[in-house]
Structure 1
């Protein structure tokens, strides 16, 4: 707002009363907010330390947009870490919301839900979200759906209520709401399970770049779920090509399980040319981003030497991480690695029957060097014995010639 210094004494500050003026009336100026230096000779402002500092007198603004701008500036100020600054931002948002500012109403709901500068209060959050939703806020509709689904501010989880709110937000093409509708149909929460609708919603949200929707759509195509033509008498229609397309959309955003599943398709040659090297690459990326299944699959490649050389140490490491992440089968693979390590370091003594259960409690292992020494010694003994047998045979032949001359 341009500031006219000639009318400075007639412009009210925050909560101040207009100074008498013989030239300009307050009604002709309308409500104004002075952000500049106060006029000399007035005492309507106390000395200020910052733009929205607490040194101002009581604030009684009248413009919702200005209040919202002030609230947003205070809220986003990286230096406004004090309780007073946070409380001021909340107060401005409430004032703007009270004056009908829809985005401010939704923001107040967020702050009460988060417990920002105020005790967490789900009841007030729902109240403000409801005001914003009634005024057309898509974000408020989504948040009401989330709170219903999670049972926040309610005695029980309300999946039916969540469905209604998600549907309202989805009609406004909100990607998160569309995804959550798909998930409700996928799991049968609040609605009858309908995999066809679930896949339809996942694909619809995936077109807007929703990562989880892309991943879930990929899973449904990989396992043949959600196809309208599938019946009890027909096999699921698996489409690895579409599964790969959706997985790649999520993989571009480094979604861990999508990276893992792309690696799986390369390892098995589903929808792509089989490539253990590519499988290793995507498994490594998925493991780096936190996919425990990717760790498991990496361990198997290192164990078998597929796409890389055999490395029992790396295999054991990845199996261990996967096992700690909840993949139970990893323990069996860890046992296999330990057994292979033991056999390489301690070969079984010659003649030992590994299938004899009587030996299970008395396994005698030797070092590889000792094993090689024994084998060499045995070979030398056999060679010496053969030489002795040749000499004995020569002696027998000589004796026979003497006894039975030709």
Structure 2
């Protein structure tokens, strides 16, 4: 065990003991016979780049790809260039495409599972943007992903949300894009808690009405759809939609609050997973998923239960800043040598938030090397004036 001085509310400090967590090297790779699981993965920046970090980012490709190898070695699929990789919050399309190309090539060389985000983020929403512009933007990115050999995750589009006048506009765009793909895509419904610019997606602010519209779109192109990831942070809404999907279309939970019960499922069905929280908790999640594969649902739930409080903390409102906790966890566990992010997003959470992440992470088994975690955390808290 390792001791660390952590800040407390009100300006005080306390001594905290970090408990040893699960060593990834001791975890067996997931047997994907019962669930298909993707981790939406962060990127590692190059802090030595001579640039303007708030405006332009530089990626440390070696560390970024090494982290994907870490996840593949545990049996996860990688959901590449998604919002966890800061798409729309520091990661531009050109860098995203380079990431996709490198990641897909590495996945294919090792026989690993990868799917890649394609959206319209190179198209700046504005009054002159038309529906045809949105279609052209989607087509450009989808064609690029498929040319690289990747499966498309059709990401929700800020430009489409801004320009669409009715549900029929969504129907037109999705039918056109899905009809032109070489292989079935994963759709992506990201709620406004993750991205306020996506409020009213599918043509309604009411999630129940939006769900009806989305299900109609899925039914019209079911043969072109692998599944849909929804991130509404509502188990009830996900289960309702899951039960209404066509038989060949999977539900991929994107619910970082309720994932254990949704993956475990009920008598009517279950969810697969495409989750940002799998980035930091991969070893614990792999152990749990192997228990599920062995038929032990109770062990699956019991092993994931300690991670839920951590996940709810990382993804607390404003939810869009969850990436800060994901990258902080990677730094504390030695996957990168600094706590620096694209766009300076390491500053998006408070010192007290980071301290609570350590407390909850310790309970969840997040830190296999407590001494290293304590040293690294101490260096961060020292910048806030906390002395050890």
Question: What is the TM-score of this pair, normalised by structure 2?
Answer: 0.29
Larger-gyration structure (1/2): 1
More strand by share: 2
Larger RCO, structures 1/2 (Cα 8 Å, 6+ apart): 2
